[in-house]
Amino acid sequence: MRPAVPRVLFFGHCIGIRPVPIIAPSNREVIGTVSDQGRYLLWPKANDVTLVWAVVLFVGLLVCAFLIEIYRRRRERTRRLRAAWEAARKVADQKELSQREWALLDKVLHRHAAHSPFKAVTLRNEFDRCVEREIAGLPQEDPAVLDRYGTLLRDIRIRLGLDYIPFGQRIHTTRELYTQQVLWASLAGVDSPEWHRMRVTAVDEAHFRLAVGSDRPRPPFQAGGSLRFRMWREEDARYTFSARIERVEEDPPTWVMRHAWELKRTQSRAHFRIRHEQAANVGILNAPVNGDTSAIDRRKTVTRLRGRFTSLSGGGFAVLLFQPVPKQVLLRTTLELDPETTPIEVTARLVATAPLSSGQYLVRAAFIEMSDTEREAITRHIFRRQQQHGLAEAAGME
């Protein structure tokens, strides 16, 4: 006959501690196991209360783990944000922004890019978004304030290097116009409008200004009206957009326009174009007076200029130079396409020169006297690059 089991519980035996007897209620059912000393370790039988407390404990542990993870992620975001602000300030120091410029930029970043300051000082579209919101929050009825802020923000854009748009790349706002850009303007909403040739005289972050030549009649455009514009951006495409006249200044007549964001682009190039980043050593040649370029390869180089290519097409190229080039010259340079392709020496005529705010000049040139083999090599390189770009876009890489 099995001896009666004493109604006591021993705790701690399983972890090597001398069992401590805990008196169990006499009216409570128990279960137990035999220890190595021959004693019974009796445990209370599970009931609803025990299960409830177990569930509460489990849920509590999950909540604690969840709160710890939230705290960890918040600390990580704070660390990354602090690093982003330090990087933004470092960029401002490297670009040598003045204290006044940094104070304004810091205010703009805290207002409109508090969680992405580094992107706002390095990416043009992010900087544009901040500027647009800042200008929209200014008193629109005070032109002096708008002009002051517009000029300061423009200086900041130039210092950050966000004012240069390579030719061949599309633009998204009139803030990316350059001085001396030709625009054709007419009154919006007119069925048979009369188009007037105008020229951009200045661009800041609040407005862009237009004027007409002294030899042209003054357009009948009044303050408060809307104009429709057409323009051709060299090595890129045609654009159409509408903008509102903020005011008209006299002596000389200048139309102050609000910036436009919705620019409709129509591709109309004769040749496909690709970005082409390469250091350029450009030779300057005197162009033939009679226009005959058949023996151009025998002409000597007068001088050489250092620069950098920005785009390439089957018809020509664009290059950045640090000094202006006369129109009555030819350009001779060497194109390096692929590592396995022999460099190609090309001669080109000057198409246009555009001064940039950074002190550089963007020169566009068209190939002349090029052999079929050389042109085919350039075309094949452009086609291969376009295929790579298309595959990258399809894979979501670009």
301 & 374 share domain: yes
Residue 146 maps to a domain: no
- Contact between 348 and 330 (Cβ < 8 Å): yes
257 & 281 share domain: no
Residue 110 maps to a domain: no
pLDDT value, residue 389: 59
Contacts of 230 (CB under 8 A, 6+ apart): 183, 184, 195, 238, 239, 240
pLDDT value, residue 106: 94
Residue 172 maps to a domain: no
246 & 345 share domain: no
Residue 347 maps to a domain: yes
pLDDT value, residue 38: 52
- How far apart CA 226 and CA 15 sit, in angstroms, is 87
Domain that holds residue 29: 8-45
Tens-digit pLDDT profile for residues 108-133: 999 999 999 999 999 988 999 999 99
Residue 244 maps to a domain: yes
Tens-digit pLDDT profile for residues 18-75: 444 444 445 444 445 545 555 555 555 667 787 888 888 999 999 999 999 999 999 9
User: Where would I find the beta strands (DSSP E) of the chain?
Assistant: 8-11, 20-23, 30-34, 40-44, 182-187, 196-203, 207-211, 226-233, 237-249, 254-258, 264-267, 273-286, 303-313, 316-321, 329-335, 344-355, 361-368
Q: What is the CATH number of the domain that holds 259?
A: 2.30.110.10
Give whole-number Cα distances, 40 to 46, 47, 158, 287, in Å.
18, 21, 86, 112
Residue 294 maps to a domain: yes
243 & 204 share domain: yes
Q: What is the CATH number of the domain that holds 317?
A: 2.40.10.220
Report whether pLDDT(294) > 80: no
Q: How many domains does the chain have?
A: 3
261 & 281 share domain: no
pLDDT value, residue 43: 56
Tens-digit pLDDT profile for residues 326-357: 888 899 999 988 777 788 899 998 888 888 76
pLDDT value, residue 9: 42
Domain termination residue (choose one: 215, 234, 267)? 267
250 & 278 share domain: no
Residue 148 maps to a domain: no
pLDDT value, residue 155: 93
Residue 260 maps to a domain: yes
Percent of the residues in the chain that have a pLDDT greater than 70, as a whole number:
81
